[in-house]
């Protein structure tokens, strides 16, 4: 299999999910024997090598540029649809697929999303397994940990991702426990009272910080995929999260605590924050769950999924 991987440059200053995932996917595919041609998504694709699939893991503008040449060569194009669980985004994705024809495939992260009725039976929506990097070190033991991390502050306070970030923070601060947030892009104008902001830094620094706290609480519901809760699980930090059928509900499941409202979230925190025995049980569940998403475990599934896209497209062309 040969793939043109259009993604953010490996040395991009924006060390967020798209950059990390693009690098991780490329390395995993290469390790599995796939010929990968990386291409930075800040430059147009002017030369197309002989490939079986074009994967756009970045700006949608590159999709529009690649489609004509892909169609002329009979090559499918997969794009990271950034489906966030909202009807508005789903309608936009359906419009792109309808306008492009059978060449274009939209990547989502959960099987229940792939088979949702919102796509009206489309065969061009595909669940792509998400890879989570193995951390360089383990988290601290229970007695040496303190506080709760709420992830990226910008996302927590962004209304589009789910209103109520201010209320979430107030409830957590009201428990009298240390509350930490991560600053990924720039510096917000104001840090909420009672919250300590930590600059993201390198991936190792992030893992170290996530392994220093006792709990991770995910607030925003309408994110495409939040890697930080799973990165927290990777260092043994229990996670509480809202229903996110587009991603975390499948990836975390019962290994974390799915809260329906803030009262249930607080109940969970009170139940395990000071109880070492219960906390360690949730920590073990976290570690066991996230182990299955490491590239050395999930690589074959990723390969089969991508080959399935190629095969599905070839059948529309009458090819075996």
Q: What CATH architecture applies to the domain 142-291?
A: 3-Layer(aba) Sandwich (3.40)
What's residue 14's pLDDT? 57
Highest mean pLDDT pick, 21-35, 63-77, 246-260? 246-260
Instruction: Examine domains 2-131+295-316 and 142-291 and report if their fold is the same.
Output: yes
Query: What is the reported pLDDT for 210?
Result: 93
- d(Cα 135, Cα 112) in Å, to the nearest integer? 28
Q: Span 169-174, mean pLDDT?
A: 92
**Does 221 have pLDDT greater than 60?**
yes
Q: What is the CATH number of domain 2-131+295-316?
A: 3.40.50
| Mean pLDDT, rounded, for 25-39 | 91
Q: Is the pLDDT of residue 13 over 70?
A: no
**Residue 246, pLDDT above cutoff 60:** yes
Q: Which of 112-116, 137-141, 244-248, 273-277 has the highest mean pLDDT?
A: 273-277
Does the pLDDT at position 199 exceed 90? no
Tell me: pLDDT of 52 over 90.
yes
Residue ranges of the domains in the chain? 2-131+295-316, 142-291
152 compared with 275, residue with greater pLDDT: 275
């Amino acid at each position: 299999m040969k793939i043109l991987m259009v993604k953010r440059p490996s040395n991009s200053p924006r060390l967020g999910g798209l950059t990390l995932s693009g690098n991780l996917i490329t390395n995993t595919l290469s390790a599995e024997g796939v010929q990968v041609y990386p291409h930075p998504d800040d430059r147009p694709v002017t030369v197309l090598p002989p490939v079986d699939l074009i994967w756009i893991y970045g700006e949608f503008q590159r999709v529009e540029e690649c489609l004509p040449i892909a169609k002329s060569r009979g090559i499918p194009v997969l794009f990271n649809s950034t489906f966030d669980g909202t009807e508005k985004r789903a309608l936009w994705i359906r419009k792109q697929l309808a306008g492009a024809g059978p060449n274009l495939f939209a990547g989502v992260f959960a099987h229940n999303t792939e088979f949702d009725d919102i796509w009206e039976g489309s065969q061009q929506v595909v669940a792509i397994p998400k890879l989570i990097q193995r951390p360089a070190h383990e988290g601290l033991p229970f007695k040496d940990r303190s506080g709760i991390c709420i992830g990226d502050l910008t996302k927590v306070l962004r209304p589009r991702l789910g209103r109520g970030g201010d209320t979430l923070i107030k409830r957590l601060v009201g428990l009298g426990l240390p509350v930490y947030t991560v600053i990924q892009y720039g510096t917000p104008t104001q840090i909420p009272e009672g919250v300590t902001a930590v600059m993201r830094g390198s991936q190792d620094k992030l893992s170290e910080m996530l392994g220093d706290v006792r709990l991770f609480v995910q607030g925003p519901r309408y994110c495409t995929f939040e890697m930080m809760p799973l990165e927290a699980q990777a260092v043994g930090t229990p996670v509480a999260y809202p229903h996110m059928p587009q991603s975390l509900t499948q990836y975390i499941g019962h290994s974390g605590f799915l809260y329906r409202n803030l009262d249930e979230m607080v109940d969970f925190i009170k139940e395990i924050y000071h109880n070492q025995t219960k906390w360690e049980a949730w920590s073990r569940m976290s570690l066991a769950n996230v182990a299955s998403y490491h590239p050395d475990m999930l690589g074959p599934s990723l390969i089969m999924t991508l080959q399935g896209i190629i095969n599905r497209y070839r059948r529309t062309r009458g090819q075996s």
